[in-house]
Amino acid sequence: MQLDEFFVTGEPLIYAGMVAIAVVSAAIVFLLTYFKKWKWLWQEWLTTVDHKKIGVMYILVALAMIFRAGVDALMMRLQLAFPDMNFLNSQHYNEVFTTHGTIMIFFVAMPFLIGLMNVVVPLQIGARDFAFPYVNALSFWSLFFGAMLFNISFVIGGAPDTGWTNYAPQAGAVLNPGPGINFYLLGLQLSGIGTLATGINLMVTILRMRAPGITLFKMPIFSWSTLITSFIIVFAFPILTVALALMTVDRIFGSHFFTLAGEGLPMMWANLFWLWGHPEVYIVILPAFGIFSEIIATFARKQLFGYKTMVWAIILIAGLSFVVWVHHFFTMGAGAFVNSIFSITTMAIAVPTGVKIFNWLATLYKSKIIFPVPMLWSLAFIPSFTIGGVTGVMLGMAAADYQYHNTYFLVSHFHYVLIPGTVFASFAGLVFWYPKLFGHKLNEKIGKWAFWLFLIGFHVCFFPQYFLGLDGMARRVFTVGPEWFTLNFISTVGAFTMGLGFMVFVFGVIYSFRYSTRDLPGDDWQYGRTLEWATPTPVPKYNFATLPENVRTHDTLIDMKEDGETTFDEKKLESIHMPSYTGQPFIMMAILFFASFALVFEWITLAVIGLIATIVMMFIRSFDYDEGYHIEVDELRENERRARGLDDDRE
Amino acid sequence: MKGKKVSLHKKWFTLALFVFTSFLAGCEQIAVLDPIGPVGESQKNLILYAVIFMLGIIVVVYTIFAVVVFKYRANNPNRKESDYKPEQHGNALIETIWITIPVLIVIALSIPTINTIFALEEPPESSNDKEPIVVYATAADWKWIFSYPEQDIETVNYLHIPTDRAVEFRLSSTEAMASFWVPQLGGQKYAMAGMENTLYLQADEEGVYKGRNANFTGEGFAAQTFNVHTQSEDEFNEWAENVQNEAPELTQSEYDEIIAPGLTDEMAYSGTHLDFVDHGSNDGRDYAVERHAEKYGEEIHLENEPGFAPDEINEEQKEGSE
């Protein structure tokens, strides 16, 4: 293989990308060396098994990936702004929409929400860490290296170019030779290991590690949505794993699962993909519902309306999410009967979702609403998501879907659910729990600017696209006809407004890092309802010195406030068992990264060596007798008193 | 305060009315809402039927949302003590009501949906005095090939159909999965290799309309479009006869050339490729990849250069067909 086949050449934009990557990497290495932070990086972050730090790293990856996939989005919108635009050629445009979609789903939506779950769920249920902290670290590093593998495709080897759905036979070895699709397959496979492991981990954590008294129906709604989500992950992700593996074998070893030649079944890919893909939609939306529920109840200063109904609605949505996948290809010609059944199941999802919308509205009824930034995102979600929801029902009507399918109507619909749903929730949750993560709040004023820019930009960007779709503009075309110019131009203006909103948000993060007050109480927003706000800010390594005893409702902190209880009861202090930090997860996933990279280029020997090294790492883990360590009572007492500002000689 | 509220509602109502009327006025220009045949018509009706429900839902949700957020904000100067009930946790009756209403809406939407789904699997009723004309539409990277077995002719990248008569499209593809779509005639269906799909469409008006592949098939996808010429049965027959008499005969080697990946102009032949291969049959599924395997990796470097306008209807052709 020649060097110019290895590196992507011939595109000025890609050369600029290469330079940017080189400069940023050099800057990071320089800064770490200059400030002597290598040891800190390794000891505090790369080897950590603390769920809070892992959560922070997930969110950092998500933010970096929003930037990358957001730039992709802006490049597409720029290309579509004018009918004569020749900014991206067809091939480049195809790569850009593929990486945009794939990254936004796998490396933004998923890690952002999983990051928030990492930080918040153990705190909400009174646990001191995940059930399997080591596995949790492994999950993060698998996501991290999966994301890296997928992203380097744009400078090395060539990016995938068949859309995030990667349909066979277009993505097969005959129609799409070269390493591009292999990056997609192996990048997702690598990060998928982590997602599945996290699903299991969260499930066990929530089922087994809740503090005494927190029964399932006294669990905060975000933890509930996480539990249901982890069930969906555990049932859905193996399907993707199998589908990716089969196509990898097809492409690299010449089998015929999805090929045209040799009696393969290309349409089986679409089925398998959406059998995972539709539940996936709910994997990224249910936690968002949970986040909104928490925030709305907090800042409406009122109990969530219909808590039990909300829980059952989530469970019902999760169940239905597995029986609607065919609506992604009503046009495949499965027949009237099949399409009718899947139309009904699809529309049925609107029922529990509608109930949730009404319950949020009822929560606001007779409440006392204040409007800090997280509440703004949550309130904006309701009307924005409603548009996405009703157009979803319209798409569910198969006979009409024949006209919406593969058009900008569809594009607009899924952005209208994913952005007000997942993205708004991620921002809302991040701002809401930010003090628990970093020990200070985000600047409200900058946050409001970011919010309004993003919200207005979002509607300006995507609302016109419904009409473009109805006027016959297919998705994934790299040029627009002159008759579609006006709406496309408006859409592009909206997209850049969203980009500006995001930049303001990032500016707010930097500004707040420098100027925000550090000395915060545990209940930073004053109206916290759940257990995470009972911990001091920043949250100590062990989370809770002592656990609450008298849990009566799902609003645990409200009960505790009434009883005058805290999570620091000196009489009950006992030493706390903590897991040791370890570099193994990082090393193991780094090895798997190199093995996968080798497999992308079909260097089988190297890949096999990497695989063997991974198995060796698993052996090492199996004979690991590190039992962790204990934090003793004295240290706990001293630490909690300092954190809570308690007088030392009171006792 | 009371007077102010009424005027606010009035304003919203006027605004909603304005939006709705301008929406209806806009429909004339929107392809899917401006159908030229019974299939597109039934889909348009279904869409508008759904839109009415959806606007209703949106109005209800937005009204409640606006009222509760406005009225129950903490700094509302008109707050009363009774406006704050933090312990209110649910209400079985009211929750039952708002579970029931969506169920009824779903039922109301399902019935016409299912009726239309079944109806679209058959030729349109308005022309059931005539047998549908059969046209094979085959997608290849990146063009459309139309075969008329009865007329024994084949066209590339353009399509002629008679009006007031159902057309039975038999869809397939030489390799990648494409989707056959003429927005003003009706909804799309996939064209796949090794599998034949049937799609019934019908035009009741004469003219030239845009058709395209709606499902991404790679680099030339944006250019995978075709024009549909709808004309009276007599004119159609005349056209078909002309092609049959004047166009060159399609040979297998020429056909193999046509389906190789790349862009082509409009072409016409006498004879059809169905004599060599039927891509919709299991035997024909790998016909193209067997012959052109090594060509799919080559880029065609498609740029949006001046003159590249795949979505345009060529004015010349428009006149030519009239």
B237 in the same domain as B274:
yes
The C-alpha atoms of residue B243 and residue A593 are separated, in whole angstroms, by 59
Helix (H, G, I), strand (E, B) or coil at A71: helix
The C-alpha atoms of residue A592 and residue A587 are separated, in whole angstroms, by 9
Tell me whether residue B141 is in a domain.
Answer: yes
Q: Which of A266, A386, A406 sits opposite B214 (nearest CB)?
A: A406
Helix (H, G, I), strand (E, B) or coil at A440: coil
The C-alpha atoms of residue A425 and residue A295 are separated, in whole angstroms, by 10
Tell me whether residue B125 is in a domain.
Answer: no
A49 in the same domain as A28:
no
Helix (H, G, I), strand (E, B) or coil at B137: strand
Residue in chain A nearest B211 by alpha carbon:
A472
Chain A positions touching B310 (Cβ under 8 A) are: 479
Name which of B215, B224, B283, B300 to mutate to probe chain A: the one with the most chain A Cβ atoms within 10 A of its Cβ. Answer: B215
The C-alpha atoms of residue B65 and residue A369 are separated, in whole angstroms, by 13
B10 in the same domain as B158:
no
The C-alpha atoms of residue B162 and residue B262 are separated, in whole angstroms, by 30
Q: pLDDT at position B311, please? A: 76
A118 in the same domain as A10:
no
Tell me whether residue A651 is in a domain.
Answer: no
Tell me whether residue A559 is in a domain.
Answer: yes
CATH code for the domain in which residue B284 is found: 2.60.40.420
Q: Is the peptide bond before A312 cis (omega within 30 degrees of 0)?
A: no
Q: pLDDT at position B84, please? A: 92
Nearest to residue A524, comparing CAs of A449, A445, A451, A437? A437
A10 in the same domain as A63:
no
Nearest to residue B285, comparing CAs of A161, A169, A269? A169
Q: pLDDT, tens digit, for every residue of A420-452?
A: 999 999 999 999 999 999 999 999 999 999 999
Number of structural domains, chain A? 2
Exposed/middle/buried for residue A485 (C-beta within 10 Å: 0-12, 13-18, 19+): middle
Percent of chain A with pLDDT over 90: 86
Residue in chain B nearest A409 by alpha carbon:
B32
Tell me whether residue B85 is in a domain.
Answer: no
Most distant pair of Cα atoms in chain B: their distance? 89
B114 in the same domain as B163:
no
Chain B positions touching A94 (Cβ under 8 A) are: 216, 218-219, 221
A619 in the same domain as A542:
yes
- E strands along B103-185, which residues? 133-140, 143-148, 153-156, 158-162, 167-173, 178-182
CA distance A180 to chain B (A): 11
Q: If pLDDT is split at 50, 70 and 90, which confidence band does A16 have?
A: confident
DSSP annotation string for A521-565: -SSTTS---SGGGGS-SSPPTTS-SS--S---SS-HHHHHHHHT-
Q: pLDDT at position A564, please? A: 85
The C-alpha atoms of residue B319 and residue B322 are separated, in whole angstroms, by 5
Tell me whether residue A650 is in a domain.
Answer: no
The C-alpha atoms of residue B31 and residue B181 are separated, in whole angstroms, by 12
Name which of B23, B117, B181 to mutate to probe chain A: the one with the most chain A Cβ atoms within 10 A of its Cβ. Answer: B117
A175 in the same domain as A50:
yes
Q: If pLDDT is split at 50, 70 and 90, which confidence band does A155 have?
A: confident
Name the average pLDDT for chain A: 94
Q: Domain of B35?
A: 2-78+91-120
CATH code for the domain in which residue B110 is found: 1.10.287
A356 in the same domain as A210:
yes
Average pLDDT, integer, range A272-299:
97
Q: If pLDDT is split at 50, 70 and 90, which confidence band does A12 have?
A: confident
Average pLDDT, integer, range A292-300:
97
Q: pLDDT, tens digit, for every residue of B229-264?
A: 999 999 999 999 999 999 999 999 999 999 999 999
A25 in the same domain as A104:
no
Q: pLDDT at position B202, please? A: 97
Name which of B59, B72, B101 to mutate to probe chain A: the one with the most chain A Cβ atoms within 10 A of its Cβ. Answer: B72
Q: pLDDT, tens digit, for every residue of A328-361?
A: 999 999 999 999 999 999 999 999 999 999 999 9
Number of structural domains, chain B? 2
Chain B positions touching A260 (Cβ under 8 A) are: 175, 193-194, 285-286, 289
CB atoms B50 and A397 under 8 Å: yes
Tell me whether residue B239 is in a domain.
Answer: yes
Q: pLDDT at position B316, please? A: 55
Q: Complex ipTM above 0.90?
A: yes
Residues of chain B with pLDDT under 50: 1-6, 319-322
Helix axes A307-320, A350-364, angle to 10 degrees: 160
CB atoms B106 and A174 under 8 Å: no
pLDDT greater than 60 at residue A486? yes
Nearest to residue B117, comparing CAs of A393, A391, A344, A337? A337
A331 in the same domain as A206:
yes
Chain B positions touching A261 (Cβ under 8 A) are: 285-286, 289-290
Q: Domain of A339?
A: 37-644
CB atoms B222 and A90 under 8 Å: yes
pLDDT greater than 70 at residue A115? yes
B115 in the same domain as B180:
no
A429 in the same domain as A373:
yes
Tell me whether residue A100 is in a domain.
Answer: yes
Helix axes A51-79, A90-102, angle to 10 degrees: 150
Q: pLDDT at position B5, please? A: 47
Percent of chain A with pLDDT over 70: 99
